Amino acid sequence: MSDTIDWSKLSEMEKLKHDSNYLRGTLVGSLANPITGAIADGDTQISKFHGMYQQQDRDLEKERKRQKLEPAFSFLIRVRIPGGKVSPKQWLQMDGLADTYANHTLKLTTRQAFQLHGVVKWYLKKTLQKINDVLLDTIAACGDVNRNVMSHANPAESAAHKELADLARQISEHLLPKTTAYHEIWLDKQLIAGGEKDHEPIYGGRYLPRKFKLALALPPYNDTDVFSQDLAFIAIQEKEKIVGYNVLVGGGMGSTFGMPETYPRLGNVLGSCKPEQVIDVAEKVLLVQRDYGDRSNRKHARLKYTIDNRGIDWFKNELNNYLGWKLEPEREFQFIRNGDRLGWIKGEDGQWSLTLFVEGGRVRDQNGHNLKSALREIAGSVNCYFILTGNQNLIIANTGEEGKKEVNALLKKHGASPSVLSGLRQNSIACVALNTCGLAFAEAERYLPDLVSKVENILDRLNLRKQEIVIRMTGCPNGCGRPYLAEIGFIGKAPGKYNLYLGGNFIGTRLNTLYKETLSEEEILRELEPILTDYAGNRLKDEYFGDFVIRKGYVKETKQGRDFRH
Ligand code: SRM
Ligand code: SF4
């Protein structure tokens, strides 16, 4: 097979995957090498498929160099949790691992997963084994495969929500790599000599050209930002029953400064299918991308570019061929918001759920706000489970009246009671960025809370504190906090400097547009104040900020990804 491949036309990663023997690489040797806290170069790529990234503490970078020391290498471990649901036992295990092997924090990601940061090479195996002990894993949380499948996180727990959550798990299982490398390397399961018995019925030996992301949503809530996903299924309900799904393809956020051929893109609705056809559609969309995606240029390899290069009609036709049947026409759907609805809600079954704002998705104990301790005690004593949302928040789900009281009391005891938040802060997302992300040009998670406080001062003067406005910041244009869908978006350009984007909408169906470049904090506030003042005085009834800035001509609507400019 390899003889027929012209490797010179493909990206280096293609050869690496092919030669990795179904994702084994030289990981075993790398882990055993006592000389360095790093793993071999090739293994830094292959290990992603196992759910981890080699990183270094960027705060210490200069000092380590000065002292002629190897960088402070450690690993990010990402745990795959389809639909974001975890049991108290799983929560407690992750909480303990954060303290024992990581940096004492748990990161709730924008894709309903956990991340541990700061795990050194010597503890990787132990940590993965402990994760596995509570029936969680990190397989395919990263890498050129289908990633964590997101699902609508409904605090009101309805039958439809449960159906979506189950479907997310089934799709995730179906699209998992089948290699036994993970079990061999991390869980000491018996080695298959040379791995020759392994095969990947869906992916093949080179896996996908690039990462692939999938989400489910239940209108009217777009809390999984379906327009940013490679593939999404939007539930169609009739009389509370899910009768089908609209199929959306080709969304994506990543882009690179100075490369106009890369851009964020909104998904296109292709048609609809029946609930029992979803897994088939998911598999075949992935196969079309596997077979036609660009394997020469990784910056241009996502499904969104395959679709733009060949056209949406070509894609639909090809998909129908792969399926052997045709999608039905699209059905009407309407979203009223993205993000999460915070606070307590009673479900159809009379049980209570609390959606808790977790700033930057970082669960920790800090300055008397001891959220990590509170959640540990809740997990240990309250009858409930947890749902990580796609907006870095957390739902403490399914408690009775007594449980609700206990949760409130425990949050209070640890100084972590939900406070009344501005409509801006409630709708804020910041990616990790510094100090762990190797791609960050600027701060995001560590800075956005302060910037929000400063914008809140303006909002207070304008009587806009309660107005919900979606604000998102990332430390680079890769878009991990989905900033291109925000009403106010910031992308880091350099330390302390950000591009400002305006005009995304509150329901997550419109890309924003560059308003001003390379702004300092002072400049950001100076730019935003007059626009917010205009908004306070001249908005139409119920008009959202993102719609207002377009109506008033502050920015022009970005109608398609290809028109997006940094
Ligand atoms: Fe992301 C790479 C963090 C969601 C687009 N992302 C990274 C890396 C691994 C940096 C790296 O490659 O070295 C970041 C690790 C930082 C750290 O220290 O933790 C990182 N991404 C994250 C998380 C943790 C952000 C967060 O604060 O929550 C999110 C983890 C999600 C998960 O659980 O799987 C995260 N990343 C996203 C999203 C949002 C989403 O999926 O809904 C996007 C935009 C959607 C998309 O993919 O188009 C996203 N991440 C990227 C990209 C750009 C991909 C592209 O098509 O160009 C990169 C860089 C890359 O792949 O080359 C990237
Ligand atoms: Fe890192 Fe950029 Fe993703 Fe932020 S958006 S986590 S800076 S890759």
The pLDDT tens digits for 508-523 are 999 999 999 999 999 9
442 Cα: distance to centroid of ligand 1 (angstroms): 15
How does pLDDT run across 148-196, given as a tens digit for each residue? 999 999 877 789 999 999 999 999 999 999 999 999 999 998 765 555 5
Strands 214-217 and 231-238: parallel
**Does the 343-413 domain belong in CATH 3.90.550.10?**
no
Q: What SS3 state is found at 125? A: helix
273 counts as catalytic: no
Contacts with 492 (C-beta within 8 Å, 6 or more apart), sequence order: 433, 440, 441, 442, 443, 444, 473, 474, 475, 476, 498
Residue 351 has pLDDT above 70, yes or no: yes
349 vs 228, which has greater pLDDT?
A: 228
Q: How far apart are CA 296 and CA 60, in angstroms?
A: 35
Confidence of residue 65 (pLDDT cuts 50, 70, 90): confident
| Whole-prediction pTM | 0.97
Q: What average pLDDT score do residues 478-496 get?
A: 98
Name residues contacting ligand 2 (CB within 6 A): 431-433, 437, 439-440, 444, 474-476, 478-480
CA of 302, closest atom in ligand 1 = 56
Task: Ligand 1, residue 113: give the atom nearest the CA.
Answer: 33
Please report the beta strands in 277-350, taking only residues with DSSP state E, as ranges in sequence order: 337-338, 343-346
The model's confidence at residue 66, banded by pLDDT at 50, 70 and 90, is confident
Asked whether 432 lines ligand 1 (CB < 6 A), one says yes
Peptide bond into 82 cis (omega under 30): no
Respond yes or no: is residue 480 known to be catalytic.
yes
At residue 260, does pLDDT exceed 80?
yes
Q: Which of 130, 125, 131 is nearest to 188 (CA)?
A: 125
Q: How many CB atoms lie under 10 A from the CB of residue 151?
A: 32
Catalytic residue (choose from 17, 24, 48, 78): 78
The atom number, within ligand 1, closest to the CA of 430 reads 27
The pLDDT-based confidence of 1 (bands split at 50, 70, 90) is: very low
Determine which residue's CA is closest to atom 3 belonging to ligand 1: 480
Average pLDDT, the chain: 96
Q: Name the residue of 262, 478, 485, 566 to mutate for ligand 1: max ligand atoms within 8 A of Cβ.
A: 478
Question: Would the CB of 109 count as within 6 Å of ligand 1?
Answer: yes
**CB of 224 closer than 6 angstroms to any ligand 1 atom:** no
Spell out the domain ranges in the chain.
343-413, 425-563
CATH homologous superfamily, domain 425-563? Sulfite Reductase Hemoprotein, domain 1 (3.30.413.10)
Identified catalytic residue from 48, 431, 472, 493 = 431
Mean pLDDT across 88-96: 98
The catalytic residue among 48, 85, 147, 337 is: 147
- Nearest atom in ligand 2 to the alpha carbon of residue 475 is 7
